[in-house]
Amino acid sequence: MTPSVVTTALAPSAVGPYSQAVRVGDWLFLSGQIPLAPETGEIVTGDIEVQTRRVLDNLRAVLEAAQASLASLVKTTIYLTDLADFAVVNRVYAEYLSPPFPARATVEVKALPRGVRVEIEGIAVLSSPRAE
């Protein structure tokens, strides 16, 4: 299987040597998204709730570019600079995704690109019943 790149102008452009997502067969590997506005490439202003919503909107845009949805996700990893933000991030995450929820890990990290507070990456399966 040959990997193919998935891109969309509805999510922030890659700012380094990586792709927004890479498809291999029915698998889609989504790069971590941070709270950048796709129109400007600037960090959205606001609290952790606003930042988390932007991150999930960015992930949704990349998934939709692959003819998928957030329901296609089977695994996510959430990176937080402060685990005290976990409850808010978890609440927003639950608004965007529905059961059966993807497998998930959440980790606290020292820092994230551009000083943001949250980053989320994911793996989706495109042939899954979750994708329908």
- CA 103 to CA 129: how far, in whole Å? 16
Q: How many domains does the chain divide into?
A: 1
Identify the band that residue 131 occupies on the pLDDT scale cut at 50, 70 and 90. very low
Quickly tell me which residue has 């291999």 as its tokens.
24
The Cα 71–Cα 21 span in angstroms is: 16
Contacts made by residues 106-109, CB under 8 angstroms, sequence distance 24+:
106/77, 106/78, 106/79, 106/80, 107/77, 107/78, 107/79, 107/80, 108/79, 108/80, 108/81, 108/82, 108/83, 109/79, 109/80, 109/81
Compute the average pLDDT of residues 48-65.
98
Q: What is the pLDDT of residues 69-111, one digit of tens each?
A: 999 999 999 999 999 999 999 999 999 999 999 999 999 999 9
End-to-end CA distance of the chain: 23
The per-residue pLDDT of the chain, averaged, comes to 94
CA distance linking residue 9 with residue 116, whole number of Å: 21
Domain limits at 61?
A: 4-131
Query: Across residues 32-54, what is the average pLDDT?
Result: 96
**Looking at residue 60, which CATH number applies to its domain?**
3.30.1330.40
- Poorest-pLDDT segment among 4-8, 11-15, 49-53, 109-113: 11-15
pLDDT grade for 129, boundaries at 50, 70 and 90:
low
Mean pLDDT of 41-53: 96
